[in-house]
């Protein structure tokens, strides 16, 4: 029995030696790889908006609203704060109307430490935009991209001076575009974002991840609970900002056309009631008795379908077209009256100054 076991062990040893001789790579498997007590993790790509912030933040300035003391007309004190965006190397700065509306003096503090007294070029309450100007050289200008179109889901950064803590950046996404009827001062389309916009951020920059201007921060609606605060923030789109800025620089105010009608949108059912095949337009339901439309011969229940060769779609579209018309010019407008087309020549007036 012992002899049998000895022969078996000897045979196993000989077989193992033979296998190692034929397959030398098996020798490596016999050495156990030491286990590291501190394994090194592969570094992951870090998501950062540093590039965008570095491009945009130098052009965002702190705005201080100063007013004379009621008891001492020689004493100026800071009454409010906000932010502004340098739009041009000529020193033009855009901020919010409500930031500077009541100011006797406006101070602009740049991120490089320079401080300037700013001149108020013009302000427009309806769009909540004001334009300031400072006399300075080597100004950082906010990057812009004419081809960029804001879309729901785009990541955006809000840069400003909340609560006078110094420049701060928050981020979120664009939640909605074309938010109408949200303005404190009149009809206004907003970009909606969940990026935090707090007191002092007003007038600051909303930028995309390339640091390009998306809009001007203007308002935040917040609902406080016992647990936390939820905010919905709004910004004035860049395209509208640029349009209003150029008008304020050119005229010191925004000149808007006016025809003096009250109307409602038309739908297919209403079109049939008015015996009209045309379903794109607005129905006149009232007029300023001394306004341009009344003087041109408009009548209640006319369906306005065309202005200066441009088709009418709804009330918002009409307002957009009319406000861009220059007062003092005659413009042809086509209406349907009792189902038949009628062309009226309307002398565009200057919109009454309701928002100043």
Q: Exposed/middle/buried for 231, CB within 10 Å: 0-12, 13-18, 19+?
A: middle
From 98, 124, 183, 189, the catalytic residue: 98
From 124, 128, 189, 302, the catalytic residue: 128
**End-to-end Cα separation, the chain, in angstroms:** 116
Q: Is 41 annotated as a binding residue?
A: no
Q: Is 255 annotated as a binding residue?
A: no
23 token code pair: 């397959």
Q: Is 257 annotated as a binding residue?
A: no
Distance CA(258)–CA(347), nearest Å, equals: 9
- Beta carbons within 8 Å of 242's beta carbon, 6+ residues apart: 87
Q: Is 259 annotated as a binding residue?
A: yes
Please confirm, yes or no, whether 98 is among the known catalytic residues.
Answer: yes
User: What are the helix (H) ranges across the chain?
Assistant: 2-22, 26-29, 50-56, 97-100, 238-251, 268-273, 292-296, 315-323
From 83, 202, 220, 233, the catalytic residue: 202
Q: Is 306 annotated as a binding residue?
A: no
Q: Is 261 annotated as a binding residue?
A: yes
CA 291 from centre of chain? 35
Give Cα separations from 336 to 110, 282, 289, 301, 346 (angstroms).
Answer: 56, 10, 20, 9, 16
Place of tokens 């990057």: 143
Please confirm, yes or no, whether 128 is among the known catalytic residues.
Answer: yes
- State the binding site for substrate: 259-264
Binding site: what residues are annotated? Answer: 259-264
What residues act catalytically?
A: 98, 128, 202
């Amino acid at each position: 029995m012992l002899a049998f076991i000895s022969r078996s062990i000897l045979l196993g040893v000989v077989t193992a030696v033979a296998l190692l001789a034929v397959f030398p790579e098996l020798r490596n498997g016999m050495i156990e790889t030491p286990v590291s007590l501190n394994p090194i993790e592969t570094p992951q790509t870090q998501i950062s908006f540093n590039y965008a912030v570095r491009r945009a933040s130098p052009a965002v300035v702190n705005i201080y609203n100063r007013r004379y003391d009621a008891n001492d007309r020689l004493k100026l004190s800071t009454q409010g704060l906000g932010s502004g965006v340098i739009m041009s190397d000529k020193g033009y700065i855009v901020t919010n109307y409500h930031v500077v509306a009541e100011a006797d003096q406006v101070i602009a503090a740049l991120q490089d430490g320079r401080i300037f007294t700013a001149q108020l070029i013009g302000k427009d309450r309806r769009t909540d935009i004001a334009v300031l100007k400072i006399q300075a050289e080597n100004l950082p200008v906010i990057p812009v991209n004419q081809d960029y179109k804001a879309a729901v889901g785009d990541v955006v950064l809000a840069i400003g001076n909340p609560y006078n803590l110094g420049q701060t950046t928050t981020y979120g996404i664009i939640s909605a575009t074309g938010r109408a009827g949200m303005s404190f001062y009149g009809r206004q389309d907003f970009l909606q974002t969940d990026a935090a916009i707090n007191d002092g951020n007003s007038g600051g920059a909303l930028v995309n991840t390339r640091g390009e201007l998306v809009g001007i921060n203007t308002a935040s609606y917040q609902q406080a609970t016992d647990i936390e605060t939820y905010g919905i923030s709004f910004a004035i789109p860049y395209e509208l900002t640029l349009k209003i800025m150029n008008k304020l620089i050119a005229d010191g105010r925004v000149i808007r056309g006016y025809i003096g009608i009250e109307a409602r949108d038309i739908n297919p059912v209403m079109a049939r009631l008015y015996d009209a095949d045309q379903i794109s337009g607005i129905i006149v339901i009232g007029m300023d008795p001394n306004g341009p439309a009344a003087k041109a011969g408009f009548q209640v229940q006319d369906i306005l379908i065309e202005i200066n060769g441009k088709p009418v779609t709804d009330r918002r579209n009409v307002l957009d077209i009319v406000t861009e018309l220059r007062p003092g010019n005659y413009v042809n407008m086509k209406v349907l009256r009792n189902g038949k087309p009628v062309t009226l020549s309307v002398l565009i007036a200057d919109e009454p100054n309701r928002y100043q």
